[in-house]
Amino acid sequence: TIQDLPSSAAKMIPRAASASELPRRSGEWFLHSGIQDTSGGIARYYRADLARNNAVSTEITGYGIMMMVGFLVGGWLIAQELRRRGLYEEYAADITVAAVIGGIVGAKLWYWVVNGGNLFSRGGLVWYGGFVGGALAVLLNGMRLKVPTRWTTELCAPALPAAYALGRIGCFIVNDDYGHPTDLPWGVKFPQGLPPTTAQNLQQQFGVTLPPGTDPAAVLAVHPTQLYEAIIMLADEFPQMNCKSP
């Protein structure tokens, strides 16, 4: 039996686990069926170390997956445009790598400047910082490769809406960045959101005014602004795909 798991994991794994659910060799990754900590689009995987009779964990979040998908789709769209123009397609990979590095560093630095805390913590990314950092990295890398800045921006601009839309879907998956309370039929409740959409959280953290007598523990439906933005960005993307300059 795998023992000595991290304390957070040990609380979630039942004492009596099926032997078939556990790894048989070191280095094997497994998702234990007894772990219920999959809220907010998070799946926690464990890597077995049978020699030490323990396991180490890692988390895969829906936001992280969609963020990477956004970068890859953006790079693919740029590559398609380069191919259409008969230009060097590999420049799309250069742009994507620069965007990933600059975007993540910029998003983390922006969050750290505004909120403080541990710069190297897992969470804490701000879109504004990601956009600024990613744009600077892409432009500087283009200058290094002696690509005219106008060409780089012209290639990247049409891909940005699609990449942004995918990132916002990631926010929806992890129940983050929602809007104000609503009674509309498509309102969404996030009982395990970041933070949960309880009346108390909405009042204290976001200054939302609620009717007197509202139960502080009540989970309220809110606008899924993540999906609103994703739809708007995709609506902006399709006309650009059909209006290519020569």
Parallel/antiparallel/unpaired status of strands 29-30 and 221-222: unpaired
Tokens in use for 186? 């498509």
Residues 6 or more apart whose Cβ sits within 8 Å of residue 3: 53, 54
- pLDDT tier for residue 219 given thresholds of 50, 70 and 90: very high
How far apart are the two ends of the chain, measured CA to CA in Å? 64
Phi, psi of 60 (to 5 degrees): -120, 115
65 vs 30: CA distance, rounded Å: 18
- Report pLDDT for 20: 45
Q: Taking the CA atoms of 128, 130, 133 and 135 in sequence, report the sign of the dihedral they define.
A: negative
pLDDT mean across residues, the chain: 80
107 vs 67: CA distance, rounded Å: 12
* CA-to-CA separations, 55 to 26, 85, 166, in angstroms, rounded: 9, 51, 33
**pTM value?**
0.74
104 vs 121: CA distance, rounded Å: 12
Residues 6 or more apart whose Cβ sits within 8 Å of residue 105: 133, 137
pLDDT over threshold 80, residue 53: no
- pLDDT tier for residue 41 given thresholds of 50, 70 and 90: low
Tens-digit pLDDT profile for residues 89-119: 999 999 999 999 999 999 999 999 988 877 7
**Pairwise pLDDT comparison (137 vs 29), residue with the higher score:** 137
15 vs 50: CA distance, rounded Å: 18
- Report pLDDT for 106: 94
- Report pLDDT for 103: 95
**Pairwise pLDDT comparison (2 vs 46), residue with the higher score:** 46
